[in-house]
Amino acid sequence: MAELEEAVGASASTIRRDLGQLAGMGRLRKVHGGAAAIESTLSVRELTMEEKTELNIREKEIIGRYAAGLIRPEDFVYIDAGTTTGQMVEFIEEKKATFVTNSVMHARRLAHKGCRVFMPGGELKASTEALVGPMTAESLRRYHFTKAFLGTNAASLSAGFTTPDPAEALIKQYALEQAGQCFILCDSSKFGRVAPITFSSYTGPQVITDRLKDKEYARHGNVTEAEAAREEDPSGT
């Protein structure tokens, strides 16, 4: 609040009144000590795998390394298609766990590591290299995962975790429902954004991100900031 007073040259009471009016109009969100920008409008276009691969590489590596470290020998793991989950696959060292993935690329990499891998049936979506559709969904209903690791296009307190494609949203939803623990791998650039289709509420799964910029997203206690965890324990143990 002090920063706002200095920036606009108005009293605290005036600023609080104006923030209240703007919040009532839906133009911002009031938080403790000030205000935060309202979550962005709908983002409809889905990037290709090639485009996604070039974005936030360091952040995805941090998230992927942390997520891979959560896998134990007895786990039966689902890994979603996507570039952030792809980084996770690169760091997986546990060979005794069993894996299921709807990503052809992830399955190939896991097999090359010597892991036991299953794939559901379904239609191959070229832009994301993911198996989707009713056959894929029906296949996932037969599995019971100890852990599922899902990617997301956007994360919002109000809309939850969202993706542009209803076919992919359905697969994510089925995988989440069949998992004892579900982790959403979400780099910090995706918070405060909304894509067309919700596949999970925000408060349901655990979230692994690099580092939160808006701490409002941490208040539900379901977020791990992997970058901060690595700084506290550089050995990764």
C-alpha 229/C-alpha 116 separation (Å) is 29
The confidence score (pLDDT) of residue 22 equals 47
pTM of the model: 0.78
* Overall domain count for the chain: 2
Residues of the chain below pLDDT 70: 1-56, 230-237
The confidence score (pLDDT) of residue 228 equals 78
Residues 156 and 127 in one domain: yes
Q: Per the domain annotation, does 54 fall within a domain?
A: yes
Q: What is the domain-level CATH number for residue 94?
A: 3.40.50.1360
Q: Per the domain annotation, does 42 fall within a domain?
A: no
C-alpha 187/C-alpha 208 separation (Å) is 8
Residues 12 and 108 in one domain: no
Q: Per the domain annotation, does 133 fall within a domain?
A: yes
Please give the residue range of the domain that contains residue 176.
49-232
Amino acid at 99: F
The confidence score (pLDDT) of residue 215 equals 87
The confidence score (pLDDT) of residue 38 equals 46
Residues 82 and 19 in one domain: no
Beta strands in 4-128 (DSSP E): 28-31, 34-37, 76-79, 98-101, 116-118, 123-125
Q: Which residues contact 225 (CB under 8 A, 6 or more apart)?
A: 209, 210, 211, 212, 218
The confidence score (pLDDT) of residue 34 equals 53
Residues 29 and 55 in one domain: no
Residues 204 and 122 in one domain: yes
Q: Per the domain annotation, does 111 fall within a domain?
A: yes
The confidence score (pLDDT) of residue 227 equals 87
Of 122, 125, 121, 80, the closest CA to residue 99 belongs to 80
Q: Per the domain annotation, does 72 fall within a domain?
A: yes
Amino acid at 212: L
Q: Per the domain annotation, does 44 fall within a domain?
A: no
Would the CA dihedral through 165, 167, 173, 176 be positive or negative? negative
Residues 23 and 99 in one domain: no
Q: Per the domain annotation, does 237 fall within a domain?
A: no
